[in-house]
Amino acid sequence: MPLRTRWANDYTECFREQDEGWAVYPPIKSSALKPGMCGYFDVDGIWQTIVDLTNPDDVQSRNLAAVHDVEFSPGTLANTKHWGLRKSKDVRQEDITAQVMANVPGAPAGGRAFYKYSAISNKAALLLTKGPVIYRQATPNGPLLDWVVENGKEILKVARKPKRGVWIITKTYSANDRCLSVLHGKKTAVTVEIDVAALNNTGQIQASSSFWHEHSGELWNTDHDEEGVVLAMCGIKWKTLWYSSKVKPVEERLAQTLHGEGGDLTLRPYDLQIGSVEGEEGEEDHDAVRLEPEMWGRVEGIAIGDEEEVPEGEDQ
C-alpha cells in the first residue's frame, strides 16, 4: 500500500464516528467532489469521478440513466457553520503558553496562546479550519441508492479493479483553508498558536472565523482553495466483492432498513454478472461482483441508530 494511501486511511479512520461522514485526506476542490457524483478513490488515494449526476450531458455521454426526484443544493452562505479545531479521541491537548513565552524574551504578553497536541495511542489526527464550513447536499437519498443498483454493470465497467469500492456522494463539507495532521506513534506531537479571543472562560477553544495564526512541526499538511477544499463527505460506499463464478443469489441475505421522518432507506446487497474483468497482478479474472452498501455520515431525516435487519426479498 502506498504511504499516501496509508495516511489517508488512518486519517479517515481516526474520525470514523463523526456525523459528517468520511474525513477526506487528499486536497480536493469542492467543484471536483460534490453531491450527485459517483466515483471511487484509486490505489493512490486520488478521487476518480465516474459520472456527475448533476450534469445531464455527462450522464448522457456515458450512456447512463438519469437520476430523478433528487434536489441538489448549491451550497450557499446560509448553509454554513464554523468547525474550528477537531481532534480524534486519542489526542491530548496541553496549554504550553507559559513555557513558550518564557523561551521568547521580550515577547508581548496576551493576544495569543500556544497549545500542544500529542498522540496517546499509535494513531491520532487533527483538523484545523479557517472561516465558515459550507455544506452541499442531495435529497432524498433513496433515488440515488436505486440509481447505483440500476446502473451497476455500466459503472463497474469503468471501476474495473476488483478491490475498488464505488461511492455515491450525498453531502459534502468544505472550507477555503484547512490544516490537518496525522500522528503516528505515542507522544508524537504538534503545536498550534491560538488567538485568545477564541478561548472561552474555561480555556476551551471555540469555533470562530479565524482562531489560529501559526502551527509548527513537520506533520502538518496545509491546503487553500478559493472554491473550497472538501473536509468530509457523506454517502453510500458500495464495497465490491469480486468472484469468478456465476451469481448465486442468497435468499436469506439480510438487508438494513433505516427509519426516519423523511421516510425509510433500505440498504441491501446486490449480486451482478458483469462479464470478464481482469484481476489484479497474481489474481484470477472475475466475472461477477457483489455490491455491499455502507452508509457514511448522517442522513437527513433518518436516525442512523434506528434500524432493523430484514430478510432479502421481504416487503418493507
User: Is the residue at 280 inside a domain?
Assistant: yes
The tens digit of pLDDT for each residue in 55-86 reads 999 999 998 999 999 999 877 766 778 787 89
| 3-class SS shares of the chain: helix, strand, coil, % to 5 | 15, 45, 40
* Cα separation, 286 vs 275, whole angstroms: 8
Instruction: Judge whether 148 lies within some domain.
Output: yes
pLDDT at 202 over 70: no
Q: Between the CA of residue 116 and those of 54, 113, 126, 184, what are the distances in Å? A: 43, 10, 11, 15
Contact 153, 209 (CB under 8 A): no
Instruction: Give the integer Cα–Cα distance in Å for 280 and 213.
Output: 46
CA distance 19 to 164: 24
Confidence of residue 315 (pLDDT cuts 50, 70, 90): very low
For residue 121, what are the domain limits? 3-311
pLDDT digits 0-9 by tens, 120-163: 999 999 998 888 899 999 988 888 888 988 888 888 877 666 56
Does residue 304 lie in a domain region?
A: yes
Judge whether 30 lies within some domain.
Answer: yes
**Count of domains observed in the chain:** 1
Q: Is residue 316 part of a domain?
A: no
